[in-house]
Chain A
Amino acid sequence: MNAALVTVLFFGLVLFFLTLGLPVSFALGGVSVALTYFFWGPEGLSIIANRAWGAVANFVVVCVPLFVFMGAMLERSGVASALYKSMHLWCGRLRGGLAAGTVLICMLFAAMTGLSASATVTMGLVALPEMLKRNYDKSLALGCITAGGALGVLIPPSVTMVLYALVAEQSVGKLFMGGVIPGVILGLFFIAYILIRAAFQPQIAPGAPQEERGTWRHKLMALRAVILPSLIILGVLGTIFAGIATPTEAAAVGAMLTLVSAAIHKRLRWADVRDACYQTLKVSSMAMWIYLGSLCFTTLYYSTGAPAFVKEFLLHMPGGKWGTIITIQIIWFLLGMFLDPWGIIMITAPVFCPVIKELGFSLIWFGVLFIVNMEMAYLTPPFGFNLFYLKGVAPSDVSLADIYRSVVPFIALQALALILVIVFPQLVLWIPKMMLG
């Protein structure tokens, strides 16, 4: 069978059915199964159940629901509003302080949860009304939340990284470590941008009036809000990085710590826990069914001889191996405008990873490149998760067009971070190397 034809046919059909609104998991699985049957007959299909079993008998994937639950519970735990009050006292007097502080809280949240939704939704509820009340420029207020929220998948832990690790067969711990520096750099970019703009245009981000500035006593008392998040971060990331616990064990402990913090904030209500449970079931089931679809796809893809064809194609990009990397970034960026990051990784990783390995690049670095690229995908219209998350919780006078406009400068900063990570792979590889040798 002609590999080029199969490849084009496969991707053409998947894109066709995706455009028609068929869920990613079924489009991937269904097209793979149908093509396998068509070209190789029913015998080719017997491996599918085996693949599904492979997705079950795997301790790493068990961290997915635990991280999702942790994020869903943190949204409802009252940790965010406590953090926000503290930040308000410390940064409020600064021009642009509330927006910069919002990014800071997003970074803390990102170090506790593995999804972009948690910080976006909570900050949309807690920080946005405050900033608008204080006459912050709408674009700045909206942009810092959508962009800050997306840090959730770059700063570890990150469910998206876990899914990449599964498909690319890489270590989750190393990927987590690799995301730290790029995530912090990106967060600092946002903060710097906000503070610089606020310095030149004070009217877009005014400082707090005198009477809202707390005394030192108030400020120090407010710092208590940081204690619980620090414990959670230490308990989850600390144990993974120190090599004490596996990501799954750390996620279970983290999920429990989140329940404990909700209880301490007197926000542990059965209705909230139940909602978080339903949300967790839907999100983890959705993710795993996409993974199942992608396993079917990999089986088909490798039996066609298509990898050799795609490799040949990607290796002959103008500009040598860097041309290949740049081409892949452009493909990801374009897909990111229309498709969700989990679908993109499941469709493209089986194709790209062998090529990247052949070129001698690190697959950890490549994974973090993917995540940094996906930071933009969360923000680029028409399809960007964070745009919809924020629209869902914003006051009614905020339109989707307002949100679309607000993300532009932040996307530019994300692109800058992506270029930095491409040019300086050490930003990703230094921590894993230092921790693990």
Chain B
Amino acid sequence: MRAIIFVVRTIDKLSQLSGKILSPIVLFLMAVIVYDVTKRYVFSHPTLWAQELSEFIFGAYWLLGGAYTLLEEAHVKMDVFYRRFSVRTRAVINVITAPIFFVFILILLREGWHFASFSLRCAEHSNSMWSPPLYPAKMMIPMAALLMLLQGTTKFVRALVLAITGREL
């Protein structure tokens, strides 16, 4: 039991940390695009990299941010009926619905890994003028699925313990 509590708390902290690292990225994103806009409209000399770079930044941001959003219970849900139940009933329901979550995330992890590792094997580059390597960005898909899987698992364990024992972990 102690080991479980330790693992659950560690994963929660990991998601917390990911949120802390990811959240200021929106400022960087803003700066990249404003820089590009200034170059384009003021100096008529647009950058070659800003658009593609900002796509990758935002992709990593929202993909990896999924786990933090899950930790914060900020994935929007239809809770008209759900929130009428007691905390323990909700935990039971969470355990029942969890397989749908896991199917989605596990498939995303597997397919994302195939997709990204294929890109890595053939050292795929974008066909733009800037031509950055694409595999680091593509690797964000399985990485995000992994973070999501970890965070989803701790939520599942918490719900399971609450459903069985009636006590919070």
Contacts and interface: CB of A to CB of B under 8 A. Distances in A.
A23 B76 contact: yes
What is the interface of chain B mostly: helix, strand, loop, or mixed? helix
10 contacts: A18-B78, A23-B77, A25-B75, A56-B141, A245-B41, A281-B65, A282-B65, A285-B61, A285-B69, A342-B76
Contacts of B51: 59
Interface of A: 17-27, 29-31, 33-34, 37, 45-46, 48-50, 52-53, 55-59, 61-62, 64-66, 69, 244-245, 248-249, 252-253, 255-256, 273-274, 277-278, 280-290, 293, 296, 338-340, 342-343, 382-383
Given A65-B26, A66-B33, A24 B75 contact: yes
Contacts of A61: 58
A366 B7 CA distance: 49
Classify the interface of chain A: helix, strand, loop or mixed. helix
Contact of B66 (A22, A27, A253, A289): A289
Given A21-B97, A252-B33, A277-B23, 18 more contacts: A19-B78, A22-B77, A22-B101, A26-B104, A30-B101, A33-B108, A49-B114, A56-B141, A59-B51, A66-B30, A249-B37, A256-B30, A278-B23, A280-B23, A281-B19, A284-B26, A284-B58, A343-B78
A26 B37 contact: no
Interface residues of B, number: 57
B119 to A, nearest CB: 9
Contact of A33 (B33, B58, B83, B107): B107
A26 B75 contact: yes
A351 to B, nearest CB: 18
A59 to B, nearest CB: 5
Interface of B: 19, 22-24, 26-27, 29-30, 33-34, 36-37, 41, 51, 54-56, 58-59, 61-63, 65-66, 68-69, 72, 74-83, 90, 93-94, 96-97, 100-101, 103-104, 107-108, 111-112, 114-116, 137-138, 140-141
A60 B78 CA distance: 28
A366 to B, nearest CB: 23
Which 9 pairs, one residue from A and one from B, show the smallest C-beta to C-beta distance?
A: A21-B82, A56-B59, A49-B115, A30-B100, A23-B75, A252-B33, A285-B65, A30-B104, A288-B62
Given A281-B23, A285-B65, A343-B76, A20 B82 contact: yes
A400 to B, nearest CB: 12
Given A17-B100, A48-B107, A53-B115, A289 B77 contact: no
Contacts of B59: 55-57
A25 B69 CA distance: 12
